[in-house]
Amino acid sequence: MNPRHLLDVDDVSRDEIRYLLDRAEAFKGAEPARDLLAGVAVLNLFFEASTRTATSFTLAEQRVGADVISFAPGASSLGKGETIEDTAITLRAIGVRAIVVRHPQAGFAKRLSETFDGHVINAGDGAHAHPTQALLDLMTLRSEFGRFAGLKVAIVGDILHSRVARSNIVGMAMLGIDVTLVGPPTLLPDAFAVGGVRIERDFDAVLGGVDAVMMLRIQRERIAGSLLPALDDYTRNYQLNRHRLRALRSDAVILHPGPYNRGVELTDEVLADGRSRYVAQVGNGVFVRMAVLDFLVNGAKVVA
Amino acid sequence: MRVVVRGGHVVDPLLGIDARRDLVIENGFIAGITEHADTNGARIVDAANAIVAPGFIDMHVHLREPGQPHKETIASGAAAAVAGGFTAVACMPNTDPALDSPTIVAEVVRLADVAALARVYPIGAITRARAGSELAPYHRLSDAGCVAFSDDGSTVADARVLRNAARYARDVPGPFISHCEDACLKGHAVMNEGIASARLGLDGSPGLAEDIVVARDLLIAEDTRKDWHIAHVSTGRALDLVRWARSRGTAVTCEVTPHHLFFDDDGFASYRAAYKVNPPLRDDDDRAALVRGVRDGTIDVFATDHAPHGLDEKAQLLDAAPVGFTGLEVALGGYAAAVPDLPLARFVALCSTNPARILGVPGGSLAVGSAADVTIFAERPWTVDARLFHSKGKSTPFDGMILPRRALATIVGGAVVYEHGRVMPREDHEPVTV
C-alpha cells in the first residue's frame, strides 16, 4: 500500500527508496512535469527559519504544477490557541491536500499527520528526522558509486542534535550501508550504538577507510550548553581540514547538509576540494522532493 | 450500625490472616473476624470471590486544591480515591498557595471533611512556598494535621537548607519525603535519557539526575537521623542506594508507582504527553529492577503519584504539556499487571500496612477495635476507560488497557463509600480525617 506520509525515511520501503531515486534522476534530465500535481494545493508550513529547504520544496512543488501556499508562523503560535488536531482539520477543509512542515519540536509532523486527512511531508522536526535530506544524500551517493550495499560512510559531528544524521542512519541501515558515527561523547552518546551502527571517537582512524564522510554543522550554542569547550578543542579532533583531506581516499566523497560553518567543522580547502559534493546535494534536493510529492499524491508510476 | 463483609478472602499481614472470613463492623470500628458472622439486621457487603484487606492508603497524590480546581478538587480526588479502593490519601503540598501554613492545611482538612469520602492527610512543605530557602513551621503544620513533609517536585537544591530542616524537624512526627531530581542534570528534558531518546530526537534526563539526589538525601538522613522516605523511585541504582543506606542503619523507606513498574520509555514514539511524568519512565532494565525491588522487599510502598491535569493541557506538544497523570483509579490493576504473581499479603502490606506505619496514621490493620477502613477488591479483568474516572484528570497511559484487578467496595470508618461502581459520601458526618 502506498504510504500517506513521509515522516521519516522508513515510511517507505527499500524498493520505494530506489523508485524515488529513479524518479528523481528522471526529473533531473527532463523538463518540469507541471501536470503531475496540477490543481493540488500544497502548504509549506515552516515554524522554523529555513532558506534552502523551503526554497527547494517550493521549487519542487512548482515544477510538478502544485498550487503552492507558503506560511511561516512563529515557532510558538499556531492558530491562536487552536490544537494541532483542530488546525489539521481546518487546513484540510480549506482544501490543502499536502503539508510540508518544519517545526522545532520532534514529533510535530507525526502529530499533524494523525489528524490531517491528506499527506504530510516532514521537512524537519526538531532533532528527530529530515527524510528528504536523507533521500537527497542517498541520491548523491548512488550517482557517485552506483550502489549502496557495502558502502562505508562516516557521519561526523553533533549527532545528538542532528535530524539529518538520524534520518541518514535510518535510511542507510535500510540499504545496507555501513555507518560509523564520529564525535565527542557529549554530542554522540553511546546510546547511538544500536542496530549495527558503530561509534568511533578517533576521526583519523576512520578517515582512510570510508567511501564518504558527512560533516555536520557545529553550533556555537553547544559551548554555552557545556557540551563543548572552545571550538579549537573540537576542531583539533573533528574538523575536516587540509591535513585530514590527505588521509581521505581519492575516490571518496564529502557531504554536508548545510549550512556549513567555515573554519569549524570544515575549512575552505574542503569546500574547494574536488571530492566535495555539497553543490550536487543541493541540486538533487529539488528532484527528490518532486519525486516524493508525486509518489505520495499519485502513487508509483511503474512497478518498483 | 452494623456492617458484615461476607464471604471474602481476608488478607491482613499484620494479623497474619490469609483465609476466608466474615468481617464484622460495629459503629465504625472492626468488631470481629469470624468464619460465620451473624448477619441479622446488618448491612451486608458481598465479598464472595473477592479479597478483603485493611484500607489502602495512597501516600502520594496531588489534589490540586487550593489553586487549580479545574484539574482536581479535594472532593473529586477523594471520590477518585474511594473508587480506586483507597480509604486514605496523603496529598502533596504543591498547591497554590503551597501547604506551608497551618491555615491552608486546616482548609484542606475542612474540605476533606465536607467531601466525607476518603481520609485526606496533608503533607506539609519543607520550605516556605516550596522555594527552597526558608524553613516551614513543622510543629504547627503537624498540629494542623500534616503527617509528613516534602517540597515535592521542587527538590530542595541547597543541602544546607535541607540538612537544617531535617535537624530542626527531627522530633516532629512523620518522615521527610524526597522527590529526587537534580534540576541542572534534568534541564529541559521531556523523557528519560537513553536509547529511546537518542532515536526519537527528544531531550532526555539521565537516571543520574535522580540517583545523585537520592544519594545526597540518604546521607543527610543518616547525618540528621530524621526518618526519610524516597518518593517514586525510578532507577535500579536508586534502589541500590536505598539498600546501602539501610545497611548503614539509616531509617529510610521508599515507594514505587504503577507506571514506573509497568511502562518503559518506548511509549514516547507516539510523541504524546500521556507518558510525560517526573521522574520519567525509564528503560526496561530500570523497570525490571523496580519489579525485583518489589519482590525482594526493598520497596516498602505502592503509591500512585496521582497528578491530574486537564485533557486539553495534556494534548499540547511535549515540551508545553504538564507532567504527570491520574493514577488512583487504575492503581490496583496497574500494580497487579506489573507484578502479577506478588503474594496477596505482600500486596496488602505495600498498599496498607506499610504506608500506615510510615505515616503514623490509623489503619493498616483489621485488628478488632481499629477504625473500620476496608478495601475489597477482586481479580476481575476490566478495560480502563479514563472518561469514566471520578477524577477530573482523564489522562493515563493505562487508558484502554485491560487490567487484571480492581476495587469492588471501599469502607471508610464503617461507612460504605464505594460499591457497585457508585461513590456514596458518608451520611453521618463524622469527620473522616484525623
The catalytically annotated residue of B152, B264, B265, B305 is B305
Q: Across the interface, do A160 and B198 touch by the CB < 8 Å criterion?
A: yes
Q: Would the CB atoms of B197 and A191 count as touching at under 8 Å?
A: yes
The H or E element containing residue B80 is helix B74-83
* Record: contact B199-A194, CB cut-off 8 A: yes
Q: Give the pLDDT confidence score for residue B429 in this predicted structure.
A: 47
Residues B125, B97: Cα–Cα separation, whole Å: 11
Q: Which residues of B touch A163 (CB under 8 A)?
A: 201
The answer to whether residues A143 and A117 belong to one domain is no
Q: Which long-range contacts (CB under 8 A, 24 or more apart) does B413-417 make?
A: B413/B28, B413/B371, B413/B372, B413/B373, B414/B1, B414/B3, B414/B25, B414/B26, B414/B27, B414/B28, B414/B29, B414/B371, B414/B372, B415/B28, B416/B3, B416/B43, B416/B45, B417/B82, B417/B116, B417/B117, B417/B118
Same domain, A17 and A117: yes
Minimal CA separation from A83 to chain B, in Å: 7
B311 touches chain A (CB under 8 A): no
Same domain assignment for residues B153 and B212: yes
Question: Which of B58-62, B100-104, B314-318 has the weakest average pLDDT?
Answer: B314-318
Interface residue of A160, A161, A167 to substitute, partner B, most B CBs within 10 Å: A160
Chain B CB contacts of A105 below 8 Å: 317-319
What pLDDT was estimated at residue A74? 67
User: Are A12 and A3 within 8 A, CB to CB?
Assistant: yes
Same domain, A85 and A16: yes
Dump pLDDT digits (tens) for B75-94. 999 999 999 999 999 999 99
Classify burial at A272, counting beta carbons within 10 Å of its beta carbon; exposed 0-12, middle 13-18, buried 19 or more.
exposed
pLDDT classification of B336: cutoffs 50, 70, 90: very high
Asked if residue A269 and residue A159 are part of one domain, the reply reads yes
pLDDT in tens, B129-162: 999 999 999 999 999 999 999 999 999 999 999 9
Domain count, chain A: 2
Residues A13, A153, single domain; the answer is: no
Residues of B in contact with A189 (CB under 8 A): 193, 198
B283 and B242 in a single domain? The answer is: yes
Separation between Cα atoms, residue B113 and residue B431, nearest integer Å: 5
Classify each residue of A89-122 as buried b or exposed e, where b means 16 or more C-beta atoms within 10 Å of its C-beta.
eebeeeebbbbbbbbbbbbbbbbbbeebebbbbb
Q: Which residues of chain A have pLDDT under 50?
A: 303-304
The answer to whether A106 contacts B197, with C-beta atoms less than 8 Å apart, is no
Question: Does the distance separating the beta carbons of A105 and B318 come in below 8 Å?
Answer: yes
Beta-carbon separation of A84 and B199 below 8 A: no
- Closest CA in chain B for residue A127: B201
Q: Which of B195, B201, B318 sits opposite A194 (nearest CB)?
A: B195
User: What is the pLDDT, as a whole number, of residue A304?
Assistant: 41
Indicate whether A48 and A124 sit together in one domain: yes
Task: Tell me if A106 and B318 make a contact (CB, 8 A cut-off).
Answer: yes
Length of chain B: 434
Contact B202 A110 (CB under 8 A): no
Give catalytic status of residue B305 as yes or no: yes
| Owner of C-alpha cell 503537624 | B142
B369 touches chain A (CB under 8 A): no
CATH assignment of the domain containing A56: 3.40.50.1370
Determine, yes or no, domain membership for B42.
yes
Is B245 within the bounds of a domain?
yes
Residue A229 lies in a domain: yes
Residue B431, domain member (yes or no): no
Distance CA B122, CA B138 (A): 12
Q: Touching check for B317 and chain A: CB below 8 Å?
A: yes
Q: Are residues A136 and A277 in the same domain?
A: yes
CB-CB under 8 Å, A128 with B201:
yes
Choose the mutation target among B286, B317, B318, B319 for the interface with A, i.e. most A CBs under 10 Å.
Answer: B317
**Nearest chain A Cα distance for residue B267, angstroms:** 13
Asked whether residue A304 is assigned to any structural domain, the reply reads: no
Asked if the structure places residue A2 within a domain, the reply is no
Distance between CA atoms of residues B179 and B163, nearest Å: 15
Residue B23 sits in the same domain as residue B149: no
Chain A interface with B: residues with Cβ < 8 Å: 83-85, 105-108, 110-111, 125-129, 160, 163, 166, 189, 191-192, 194
Residues A191, B202: C-beta atoms closer than 8 Å: no
Residue B430's pLDDT band, with cuts at 50, 70 and 90, is low
d(C-alpha A64, C-alpha A81), whole Å: 34
What CATH number is given to the structural domain containing B15? Answer: 2.30.40.10
Pairing between β-strand B406-412 and β-strand B415-419 as defined by DSSP bridges: antiparallel
Show residues of chain A in contact with B315, CB under 8 Å: 83, 85
Together in a domain, A156 and A261: yes
Task: Identify from B268, B271, B319 which residue to disrupt to test chain A contact, counting A C-beta atoms within 10 A and taking the largest count.
Answer: B271
Cα separation, B352 vs A8, in Å, equals 48
Which domain covers residue B19, as residue numbers? 2-51+371-423
Answering whether pTM is above 0.80, one says: yes
For residues A169 and A198, state if they share a domain: yes
Cβ <8 Å between A84 and B317: yes
Residues A270 and A293 in one domain: no
Can you say how many angstroms the Cα of residue B89 is from the centroid of all Cα atoms in its chain? 7
- Is the CB of B434 inside 8 Å of chain A's CB atoms? no
A-chain residues within 8 Å CB-CB of B200? 106-107, 128
* B202·A160 Cβ contact <8 A: no
Question: In the listed set B303, B326, B359, which residue is the last one of a domain according to the structure?
Answer: B359
Contact B120, B89 (CB under 8 A): yes
pLDDT (mean) for B291-296: 98
Q: Which residue(s) pair with A253 in the sheet?
A: A212
CA distance B119 to chain A (A): 38
CA angle (B370, B50, B395) in 5-degree steps: 90
Contact A83 B315 (CB under 8 A): yes
B433 found inside a domain = no
Q: Name the closest residue on chain A to residue B312, using Cα atoms.
A: A83
| Contact residues, chain B, for A111 at CB < 8 Å | 271-272, 317
Burial class of B288 by CB neighbour count within 10 A (0 to 12, 13 to 18, 19+): middle
- Looking at the partner chain, which of B193, B201, B272 has a beta carbon nearest the beta carbon of A127? B201
Does residue B199 belong to the interface with chain A, where contact is any CB pair within 8 Å?
yes
Contact with chain A for residue B318, Cβ under 8 A: yes
Q: For position B104, which CATH number holds?
A: 3.20.20.140
What's the structural domain count of chain B?
2
Whether the upstream peptide bond of residue B97 has omega within 30° of 0, thus cis, is yes
Among A129, A79, A122, A66, residue whose Cα is nearest residue A99: A122
Domain boundary at B336, B359, B382, which? B359
Could you tell me the residue range of the domain that residue A75 belongs to? Answer: 9-129+284-298
Q: Are residues A21 and A89 in the same domain?
A: yes
Among the listed residues B360, B355, B358, the one whose alpha carbon sits nearest the alpha carbon of residue B375: B355
